[in-house]
Structure 1
Amino acid sequence: MTGKTEKQLQQLIDAYNQGNASSTSTILPITSTPSQHRNSNEHRNVVEREPRRMREDPVAFMMNLGLYYQGTGWRGYKSYIGNKVFYPDFSAKMKTMVLSSKNVQQVINLLAERQSARLQLTQNKSKLSKMSEKERSKMVHKQQMALRKELQAVAKGIADKCISRMDSMRFIRFFAFTVNNILVRLYHQGIHIKESEWIELKRVALLAQEKKQSLILLPCHKSHVDYLVVSYLMFRLGLQIPHIAAGQNLDMPVVGPILQNAGAFFIRREWGDDLLYKTVMEEYLGTLLSEGMNIECFVEGTRSRLGKLLQPKLGIVKIILEALINDRFSDCYIVPISIGYDKIIETSSYANELLGNPKEKESLWGVITNTRLLQLKWGRVDVRVSKPYSLRGWLEDQLKHRGALDLTDSTQKAVLLKSLGYRVLSDINNVSVVMPSALVGTVILTLRGRGVGRSELIRRVDWLVRIISAKGGQVSEFHEMSTGDIVDRTLMIHKELIGEHKGKDILEPTFYGINPFELSYYRNQIIHLFVEEAIVCAALYTVVKKGGGKAMQRMQYSTLLEEVSFLSSLLKLDMIYKPGGIEHNTQRTVQWLVENHVIEVDEEGWVGLADIERQCGRENYDFLCFMIWPFVESYWLACVSLFSLAPPNKNGSPSEVPVWVESKLYEKRSQALGKTLYYQGDLSYLEAVNKETLSNALTRFQEQGIIVKRRYAEPKQWSEISLSNDYIPQRLNGILTPHGHLWELVEHIGKFRREGKNRRDNATVSTRVLRLADILGQDNLEPTPNQKALLKKLNQDNAKL
């Protein structure tokens, strides 16, 4: 780092510390030595001494308000790193640059010409024939001028909606004060960071500022609160507040303008064929990047309803990568960010959505204005920042590694984009912090039995902390708090999810999951740490579940590798694996399980449970299986539900033509089947019914050629699915039989399932489960309104022909 940059960083840190009257939290200079300052790797609560409620300490609260109003120290937001924002006419300047750009003007001219040509086709031909060439040319020119004017107005309307309005420093100081008070009240134990990570981010930000380059902040997306947390930390720690890509659902009265003034720009979920909208948005993002403005977007696209990271959806990142390839800007820095919460505000609504209930209307505005929520104490927030890296440097490395790529080819660009998406997700997972809620929730959901005593709960949480640390994961820092205190605190925060049995006739307090479905959100936050181990254990379970002696509960390594390959491939849309091929990863995973005495491998290549694991009642092996079983159940349910796509005709005979079912309706019916199977004992986990995993399973089956899908744009976007011919099940006397390719797939997935109390593998599938699928299939014979409209249109088109 240059001397100038180092000096700037020291000045910024001094400015941050100056006037920090209500907080002792500091960010250390990278030039300091341990003797001068505390260790920069320490975790700090940046809001440690912020007054939370006016009635608790009115003097401190009013002093804090005065410091924000006067703009004292870091609250003034005057010496932040990055190009200037929050000055009068900032948004007007951005709009002018976008709307007057060559690309936008070319598209406006193109659309005007197209619309003018359509108008000419509809005009009176006899009238046109009487006009001279000059008169027709003049008329067309006049039409195009009028159309250009209309399109200019449309483009301006798009810009007004999309472009953020970062014009007022006074507003952003007031907004920071408001957000500060929301966060310190809602998360009463503070916002915790690792100082060394923010020092590195500031170093990179200074380099970017010198070259007029942007930081691309890519946080995980767990809650609406994510928007507030990232921008608040950027404000508080002296970095340019990012322009945030937000869904159009947040553009509502009152809250929309507030968020736009704080940096949000609203984008549609679907852009379709709207060329003008697409061009304005791409030009806006290109302008932000060329001006060195920081951008924040969520690599998952939407909030994760399951707790784990979702597959990457890279619409904004795709535009950024293409702009870099087209040399719209010199470079930018990718900054993956992990945000961990003791408690998520939206988990109950997530659970309802995943079970297929109508989506509740909830929003960031609802959080801000819900006084009941702000009276609650929901623990803490932990924010971790991965090491930033140059996007151009990453691109050059990819081109070296992959060889010559044609960056004008959309398929090859898609490969690069997907690689970038998974790199970001991996970086987020690598720096993520496991919160106490995830520890306690995981233990409760991965133990056999109806509940767990407090002492056993503490013991297993201690074990989980050790094993996470041994795997290179990070657990939230609680300094001198004992595990018992952490567990008690978590049980109090989640008392609506975790119940307690206590009384004179109970020897010790015993805890159980009141709502395992909602509690699974927290368990899923650590699945990335154990996914490979869980899959290996589930593969071994195919023989362990058969019982018998030790010799009966083992398999050859080659067979284990085959089963691991099948399960890993099946779950690839739900799990994020470590880099490396299946053979290398399995070898590494098996070695780890052997070293930790979960399994053993003898000289002849037989793999089985280790003696130590048998002696302790399989508690560690079962823990790993419990992590993956709910997902296996979802895919088994999705596969069983496919039998409903082959219902008999009204007379009971097999259908001669494929049955097409509208996708969304089919998913709801599959959930209905799953709920029935759960309550009848044929499904072990209600969370297996969640629509997100079922949807991923159907997508995976489509990729494997088991089902086919057709998409339509009218009357609105919808799709329908059907079974591939090779997977249509067999019938005998009109009754489904357990034979054929689809049945073989059901059996293969069923081998990995947790053994239930009232069933043995797929023994019940050939009777009542297939009977239920047939009942569901009768509903699938009935066409939906969209299908009726499509059939009517096809009949009309045929009649014309």
Structure 2
Amino acid sequence: MGLQRLWHRLASRLLDRWLAFRLVEPEPFQLDATLPTLYVIARPALTDEIAIDRLSRDLDLPDAGQWHQLGHASLPGCFALPRLRLSRGAIQGQHSAHLQHLLDALEADATLDAQLVPVSVFWSRAPGKDFGFWKMLAADDWAWSGRLRRLLSVIVNGRHLEAHFGEPIRLRPLIDDPEVTLTQRKVARVLRVHFRRIRARVLGPDISHHRTLMRGVVDSRPVREAIREAVEADRSTPARERRRAERYAREIASNMSYPVMRFLYELLKRLWNRLYEGVDVYGLDAVKAIAGERTLIYVPCHRSHIDYLLLSYVLYREGLMPPHIAAGRNLDMPVIGALLRRGGAFFLRRSFKDNRLYAAVFNEYLHRLIARGHPVEYFIEGGRSRTGRMLSPRPGMLAMTLRSFARDAIRDVAFVPVHVGYERVLESNSYLRELRGGQKKKESPLDLLRVLKHLREPHGRVTVSVGEPLSLTDFLNEAVPGWQNDPVSARPEWLHRAVPLLGKTLARRINDAASLNAVSLVAMTLLATPHHTIESDLLAHHIGLLVRLQRNLPGSRHCQLPAGEPADWIEHVASLGFVTRQSQALGELVTARPEQATLLTWYRNNVLHLFMHLGLVAFAFRNNAAFTLDDLDTLLSPAWPLLANELYFAPPADPRERLSATLSALTEEGLLQVTDNGWRRQPGHLESSEHLRLLGQPVQPTLERAYLLLASLLRYPSGELTQEALEEHSRQLAERLTLLSGLNAPEFFDKRLFSGMLETLEEQGWLRVENERLFYDDSVRQTQMRSRALFDPELRHRLVRLTRQ
């Protein structure tokens, strides 16, 4: 025992100055200092003990190098679990004595107590399979390694350590509990479950057998059947079609490499430090709580090519396994594609519905990733949002995920919605061109070089906000009860109902996680002014009002808010080049030039959904002096579903209750005043009246589109118009309105927005479709007549005149 302590002390002195921890989870970590604390590791490793000893001193925790005298037992402050060597039903091994002596000492003396703290130490991130010599140095598992390899790995990875503390286990209450029979085997089992879960969370499943996975995909029954069908359809040979399947597998599959992931982490850390003032992360604790128990599928919004790099970096930094990422084949470019593939990207063609063999290979590859528990990431929007709004979810990847889960539902799947909020995106110039009506440009390797020249420009901060995870089992049980009873098939009956609902649910959860930043707040306000110019003090007052309303409105999600004061936010937005500050004798003005205003619409649209409940009420008071609660509820009720489905937020479960809460919040801020019969807006000469107008302005485009759509429909008898004809006519009217208003806003007359409105009207029972014709009753006309009260007379006259052309 003395020789062991001497060797431990000598090795500790040699390594003490070399070791450095990249991540300690959780930190800060609190322990009961009055109890003897014994740290437990998963396997015997002197270097792990030395690392924990060093960490306990750095964090001012009970010393892991201290020995404890408990009764007649002398125990080290850190020891390993007993190895599983079964002989006649008993656990044996040289490390079994410490845990057994501890339990015996506590059983013998009822006054003694102790706490066990499980600690997982990771030397880099590789799980330690057959990676070759240099990759072997990055491996974590030393159970089979020799002293030379261990020494080399300490040198290579000693400054890149991670430590994950588990919840302390206090032993005395367990020993005294008459319903608990505490044995070494039972304690060891609990700790092993914990260590396995942490290991799965940090390292994920084994990724070393890439060729085995590829071979398994091609040899699977679905792919073999697709090969047989291809042979019959194309009059080919099985060998030729198998080679084609193998080529598809190589084209699709990622080849994740831990050394490359570590290299990318270091590279991206330097990139973010140069590019952004900081990367803020919120809500990841909910993911850590379920990682290792469920297969995680990350579904972030898609705003920039940086999204997937940023999310992988954040997950690696926070001690979670980075996901396998579905990427468009257009990104499989020379050099870049190979690097992305090594970082976890797997590539898919934009469309493959006519290629049965490719579809079978891709489906089988995705199924094996999910079934084995690999975290996966894909964008439900399909492509990047050029307008800043959440795009309509695409069904492809969601349907494949549901089919995979139905095929093997042993392990639950959890979708993790993620919202990425930028203060300035790298693609600003291309988005500006596309917002002005330019065509989307295909990506090429040269785009990377064009982006690099902007690295020295300021880009502010970026926020990664994680929303509420969605259990796929719970979702299916609620959405399509009895889904497990359907016979296993490629397309179960419930799939066509579940996929759209799942897409909408995830889109809303992504938007629920949105955060506010200085740019989005200024954009919300400045774009609500007629000429994109506003007094600096009024702007500061209004963005402060927006933040207070978000923070205090009952029933509203408390999204992340920018730090500092409104004046600081305006200065920050000006420094990013989005607005211009102009001195004037009566006070400073803040203005946006035409190109700045166009680009600001992208940032406003990122958070537009957060203010719709407030904006709709404010817009109603813009052209009406007073309302009772009943009248306002009747007027606004038809608008809630249209706004909610267009902007992907959850409509209020009780619209009347939410409406009452919104009115109270606006009254508290002085924008409305309470009367005997309801609420009244403030006199027009007060600043509060201007705040009410600015708050309601962002809702106007959606309401105008709805008015144009209904007015166009009502020009024709029920059953005469087709959906396609109405969509196109409404789009043309909306385009004409923007031209007459002197606006350059292609997103206003996007045909997809009118398609979404018609779907919502059909879901709500306002319309029905028979033989591709649209049928409606008189309630639609009555609703359209009531909605006129929302618009001022001049705008109403213009809309009516447009629809009569």
TM-score tier by shorter-chain length is: 0.5 to 0.7
> 2:671·2:688 contact (CA, 8 Å) conserved in 1?
no
Q: Which residue of 1 aligns with 2:26?
A: 28
Farther-moved stretch of structure 1 (79-88 vs 521-530): 79-88
Q: Which residue of 2 aligns with 1:156?
A: 246
Q: Which residue of 2 aligns with 1:780?
A: none
Distance 1:684 1:252 in 2: 35
Task: Go from structure 1 to structure 2 and tell me whether the alpha carbon gap of 1:229 and 1:510 turns closer, same or farther (over 3 Å shift).
Answer: same
Q: Which residue of 2 aligns with 1:135?
A: none
Q: Tell me the number of residue pairs that the alignment of Structure 1 and Structure 2 aligns.
A: 630
The one of 609, 615, 640 aligned to 1:568: 640
Shift of 1:93: 2.1
> 1:314·1:417 contact (CA, 8 Å) conserved in 2?
yes
> 1:332·1:391 contact (CA, 8 Å) conserved in 2?
yes
Aligned-partner residue type, residue 157 of structure 1:
R
Distance 1:75 1:634 in 2: 56
Q: Which residue of 2 aligns with 1:63?
A: none
Mapping 1:114-125, distance limit 5 Å: 114-115=233-234
Q: Which residue of 2 aligns with 1:147?
A: 237
Does residue 107 of the first structure (1) align with residue 226 of the second (2)? yes
Task: Go from structure 1 to structure 2 and tell me whether the alpha carbon gap of 1:296 and 1:331 turns closer, same or farther (over 3 Å shift).
Answer: same
Does residue 444 of the first structure (1) align with residue 532 of the second (2)? no
3-state SS in 2 of match to 1:337: strand
Unaligned runs of 5+ in 2: 1-14, 34-57, 61-152, 165-197
Task: Go from structure 1 to structure 2 and tell me whether the alpha carbon gap of 1:352 and 1:507 turns closer, same or farther (over 3 Å shift).
Answer: same
Distance 2:328 2:354 in 1: 19
Q: Which residue of 2 aligns with 1:214?
A: 295
Shift of 1:582: 4.2
Distance 1:583 1:659 in 2: 35
Q: Which residue of 2 aligns with 1:752?
A: 790
Distance 2:609 2:445 in 1: 28
Distance 2:637 2:429 in 1: 35
| Deviations, residues 532-584 of structure 1 (Å, cap 9, x unaligned) | 2322333444x51xxxxxxxx33454443232122223334312224525455
> 2:713·2:726 contact (CA, 8 Å) conserved in 1?
no
Q: Which residue of 1 aligns with 2:613?
A: 532
Q: Which residue of 2 aligns with 1:258?
A: 339
| Deviations, residues 454-492 of structure 1 (Å, cap 9, x unaligned) | 3332222222222222234233453xx444233212211
| Deviations, residues 126-177 of structure 1 (Å, cap 9, x unaligned) | xxxxxxxxxxxxxxxxxxxx432232222222212211111x3333333333
| Deviations, residues 564-617 of structure 1 (Å, cap 9, x unaligned) | 1222233343122245254554455445445555446666xx544245898544
Q: Which residue of 1 aligns with 2:403?
A: 322
Greater length-normalized contact order (CA 8 Å, ≥ 6 residues apart)? 1
Unaligned runs of 5+ in 1: 1-14, 39-66, 117-145, 545-552, 647-653, 711-721, 728-739, 774-801
> 1:182·1:368 contact (CA, 8 Å) conserved in 2?
no
Q: Which residue of 1 aligns with 2:51?
A: none
Farther-moved stretch of structure 1 (445-454 vs 288-297): 445-454
Aligned-partner residue type, residue 688 of structure 1:
F
Aligned-partner residue type, residue 640 of structure 2:
S
Does residue 183 of the first structure (1) align with residue 256 of the second (2)? no
Task: Go from structure 1 to structure 2 and tell me whether the alpha carbon gap of 1:462 and 1:640 turns closer, same or farther (over 3 Å shift).
Answer: same
Aligned-partner residue type, residue 507 of structure 2:
L
Aligned-partner residue type, residue 219 of structure 1:
P
Cα RMSD after superposing both structures: 4.5
Distance 1:695 1:68 in 2: 60
Q: Which residue of 2 aligns with 1:513?
A: 592
Q: Which residue of 2 aligns with 1:202?
A: 288
> 1:499·1:511 contact (CA, 8 Å) conserved in 2?
yes
Shift of 1:628: 0.7
Distance 1:405 1:607 in 2: 51
Distance 2:776 2:505 in 1: 37
> 1:667·1:694 contact (CA, 8 Å) conserved in 2?
yes
Mapping 1:244-283, distance limit 5 Å: 244-283=325-364
3-state SS in 2 of match to 1:475: coil
3-state SS in 1 of match to 2:389: coil
Shift of 1:403: 8.2
| Deviations, residues 317-363 of structure 1 (Å, cap 9, x unaligned) | 33223322332542233222221111122344334334432213446
> 2:24·2:163 contact (CA, 8 Å) conserved in 1?
no
Distance 2:278 2:770 in 1: 48
Q: Which residue of 2 aligns with 1:142?
A: none
Distance 2:322 2:795 in 1: 55
Shift of 1:364: 8.6
Mapping 1:721-732, distance limit 5 Å: none
Does residue 427 of the first structure (1) align with residue 509 of the second (2)? yes
Task: Go from structure 1 to structure 2 and tell me whether the alpha carbon gap of 1:697 and 1:498 turns closer, same or farther (over 3 Å shift).
Answer: farther
Aligned-partner residue type, residue 278 of structure 2:
G
Q: Which residue of 2 aligns with 1:192?
A: 280
Farther-moved stretch of structure 1 (371-380 vs 699-708): 699-708
Task: Go from structure 1 to structure 2 and tell me whether the alpha carbon gap of 1:410 and 1:85 turns closer, same or farther (over 3 Å shift).
Answer: closer
Distance 2:550 2:204 in 1: 42
Does residue 485 of the first structure (1) align with residue 568 of the second (2)? yes
Shift of 1:668: 7.9
Q: Which residue of 2 aligns with 1:730?
A: none
TM-score by length of 2: 0.67
Q: Which residue of 2 aligns with 1:93?
A: 212
Distance 1:384 1:18 in 2: 35
Task: Go from structure 1 to structure 2 and tell me whether the alpha carbon gap of 1:508 and 1:687 turns closer, same or farther (over 3 Å shift).
Answer: farther
